[in-house]
A and B are shown apart, each in its own frame.
Chain A
Amino acid sequence: MKELFSFVNLVINGLMIGSLYSVMTLGLTLLFGVMGVINVAQADFIILSAYIVYWMSHSYGMSPFISFIVTVPIMFGMGMLLEKGLIEPLQMRTRSHGEFVRMTLPVFFGVAMVVRHSMTALWTGDYRAITTHLTGKAFTSGLIRVPILRLLCLVGSFAIVGLLYLYLTKTKTGKQIRALSQNAVAAKIVGINVERIRLISFAIGICTAGFAGYLFSFIYTFFPGAAGEWVPLLFCIMVTGGLGCTEGTLVIGILFGVVDSVVGYYVTMAFSRVLVFITMLLVLLFRPRGIFGRGL
């Protein structure tokens, strides 16, 4: 009986970790799906947001729980700057969409390095963590344990995904974004202001990192180079779910979280990661567009 409860706890834990994985990957998927941008720097923006939460709390005494109201707009602004400063010039200099997509990889690798090293220069390599009165506490009911902060992540993830879904399906701008991602030429023909929509979609992609970083900061300790540990997993999730396919990211993110939790317990964490990457390889071999992907 105790075994069963252990298993249930692990699955619940996995769902919660997985939801965070999904939110972290969401921006990556959006940016690729809508704009064809391979944003290697997504994890670095997440860490940057975590630092913002940290400094808001330590320098200005702002409660970490509400600091998403700071991180999201800052990341949105950063997204707009990057779009104007990097994406548009890149669009002008590349001769085809395929070339643009390929070029975003080294360009954003450079962005990642700049962000990472700027953070080291500004804030040193010291390890940081957000500790609140809720850290480590859990709701218990018999043998079931649900850590409160992880539950916050789960709720936050569903909230942001729900909000994004509503935005993309119900608002005019959201529909324009989806139209652009489906067919850029047709979007122009029907009169969509492509430059403006590109700007907004890119900024939205980066500001999901702002929200993900806010959630991330409660669970994990971080330092400027922490993004390096996350990039492989995030890409794995996006690729397995389907490049640019948000449903895929959500489902696969949660699935991998559960795998990490369950396999990590019964075998080891190392094996869990092996399993995750083998899954990605198998999916790429037999269904290259990802489990939910609609094709490149």
Chain B
Amino acid sequence: MSESFSGKDMLTILLIVVTLISSAGTLFYVTSLSGKLMNVSDDLEGVSGNLQSVSESVLTLSETTVDIAEKVGAPSPELSALAERLEAFEEAMEEIRVEPKEYIVFGRSLAFTGKYTQPALMAHKGWELWIKLVNENGGIYVKEYGKKLKVKCIYYDDESDPTTAAELYRKLIEVDKVDLLVGPYASAVNYAVQSIAESYGYMLPITEGTSTELYERGMRYSFMCGPGGVATYYSYPFMEWVGNLPEEDRPSKVAVLAEDTAFPISVYEGVIAQSEEFGFEVVHKELYPKGTTDYVPMVSAAKDAGADLLMCGTYFPDAAGIVRAAKEVDFNPKAILCTVGPTLPEWGSELGADGDWIFSSSDWDPGAPTFGNAEMISKMREEYGIDPDYHTARDYACGQIMEAAIMAQGTLDNDELLDYILQTSFDTVIGKLSLGDVGGLTHIAWPPGYVIVQWQEGEVEVVIPSEVATADPAYPTPSWDERS
């Protein structure tokens, strides 16, 4: 600015400050208003309760009137007119009688659009599958209501965006008045929703959020519900396995790449900590922005740094981009591990042979005889024509936990259910899940349980640990030249 600070500039700044202050003030006022509105809606509930008792009295009154009329003999015209009017009044009252409770209403937002759509949709199917099965059995018996209640869920699209999700959960609580919440997809989105659930006193079962960030906040109402452990553990079984290989087979230099959002950052931190534990040197590490489209530069850098192990904290588009970039620059580490992407069915169908030999991490083992596992797999094939993945399994497990907790406590009260869940271990499709407070993290699944999978010639095999493996790990993985 070449001119000096004029009075006009002062005025503009003053105007901006005044606008900011008044907006802040309005915001405060509106939030207090919404508090008052909540009271009003509570009063309205009381009023409708009163209306119900009034209609009941009217019913008895009309019955009594008819009795009297009969006893008296031929009813006088005035009396029969009165009886008619009372009947009409009673019919009108029927209309506004309060509906008895039929459903347990869950509320959640999911990424139906945006970057996280595909895994979110797999999670959605898992949740819907559980709801279907529960309703086929007539619902869940809730002692508080003395009968079986069916389950339904209200969904909104959060577009893979944390801020949108937060607003949607506020709506679910205040407008839709759901009984219970379920968390959205992705750690970053759960992070935004946690505070909403916490301030309203609703428990937030987090089915698709394993970042340590979520569990460092000491939130009372948030807990892991379905996943097998925090994201830092995704890579552990693999790192442990390569760490214990004989000297000549072990890698020595690790490259770590991860998206710069909550979940991949946790994976990244886990890999770095485990590299130190097992004696690997981290020669290249990079956190890339969520909207990155080109992975060739960072993979080139990893290659030129001499890495012989590539570990990636990814979702699908970035995992695919990284693997393709590795092929383009002819990067041939002894192994590549990417989270999430390679656990989705389209890894094989979209990438073809390029997707082979990539490792990934899952907390769900399709072959394990865990509680309800076979039923879930067959029901999934029947309903959707595809096999479940670990996202589906996690949300299904959450349903199993909810069902067990509601039946045990006999109520839909958030606090009572929360206390029960925190102290109990549950049998689920993921295995035995129990929660604990470990290492500064609260309400995480402990002990953690992850298996390592690998794509081998178009099929996903469980490779580590050997007790549950369906195939041996193919290591070191063939080079790009060898594959063609």
Contact = CB atoms under 8 A, between A and B. Distances in A.
Given A10-B300, A145-B329, A221-B317, A268 B288 contact: yes
Instruction: Name, among A125, A137, A224, A260, the residue most crowded by chain B CB atoms within 10 Å (CB to CB).
Output: A125
Nearest to A147: B328
A228 interface: yes
Contact of A127 (B112, B292, B293, B320): B320
B6 to A, nearest CB: 20
Interface stretch (B114-122, B198-206, B366-374): B114-122
B286 A127 contact: no
Interface in A29-54: none
B113 A224 contact: yes
A287 B288 CA distance: 31
Contacts of A232: 291
Interface string B287-314: 1111111101110110010000000000
A136 B297 contact: no
A10 B297 contact: yes
Instruction: Name, among A128, A129, A226, A263, the residue most crowded by chain B CB atoms within 10 Å (CB to CB).
Output: A129
A131 B117 contact: no
B324 to A, nearest CB: 6
A127 B350 contact: yes
B316 A127 contact: yes
B351 interface: yes
Instruction: Name, among B290, B317, B328, the residue most crowded by chain A CB atoms within 10 Å (CB to CB).
Output: B328
A223 B159 contact: no
B296 A261 contact: yes
Contacts of B351: 129, 131
Contacts of B293: 220, 229-230
B117 A135 contact: no
B321 A223 contact: no
A170 B328 CA distance: 39
A131 to B, nearest CB: 5
Given A226-B317, A269-B294, A136 B327 contact: yes
Interface string A193-228: 000000000000000000000000000111111101
B415 interface: no
Interface string A141-170: 000010100100000000000000000000
Contacts of B317: 127, 220-223, 226
B294 A120 contact: no
Contacts of B121: 124-126
Contacts of B118: 125-127, 223
A138 B329 CA distance: 8
A229 B291 contact: yes
A26 interface: no
Given A128-B350, A136-B328, A228 B316 contact: no
A184 to B, nearest CB: 36
Contact of A264 (B112, B298, B321, B344): B298
Interface string B340-371: 00001010001110100000000000000000
B318 to A, nearest CB: 9
A32 B201 CA distance: 51
A225 B297 contact: no
A284 to B, nearest CB: 16
B294 A17 contact: yes
B213 interface: no
B480 interface: yes
A6 interface: yes
Contacts of A270: 260, 287-289
Contacts of B346: 126-128
Contacts of B62: none
A75 to B, nearest CB: 21
B330 A138 contact: yes
Given A125-B118, A229-B293, A270-B260, A135 B298 contact: no
A221 B117 CA distance: 14
Given A224-B113, A270-B289, A265 B352 contact: no
B210 interface: no
A265 B297 contact: yes
A296 to B, nearest CB: 22
Nearest to A131: B352
A93 B251 CA distance: 67
B297 A228 contact: no
A255 to B, nearest CB: 15
B329 A116 contact: no
B321 A220 contact: yes
B194 interface: no
Interface string B57-80: 000000000000000000000000
A136 B117 contact: no
A73 to B, nearest CB: 26
CB-based closest 7 A-B pairs: A125-B117, A264-B297, A136-B327, A229-B291, A265-B297, A129-B350, A269-B288
Interface of B: 111-115, 117-118, 120-121, 159-160, 260, 286-294, 296-298, 300-301, 304, 316-317, 320-321, 324, 327-330, 344, 346, 350-352, 354, 480, 484
22 contacts: A9-B300, A9-B329, A13-B296, A13-B297, A125-B111, A125-B112, A125-B118, A125-B120, A131-B354, A135-B324, A220-B293, A220-B321, A221-B350, A260-B294, A265-B297, A265-B298, A266-B301, A268-B287, A268-B298, A269-B289, A269-B292, A269-B294
Given A135-B324, A269-B286, 4 more contacts: A116-B113, A221-B317, A229-B290, A269-B297
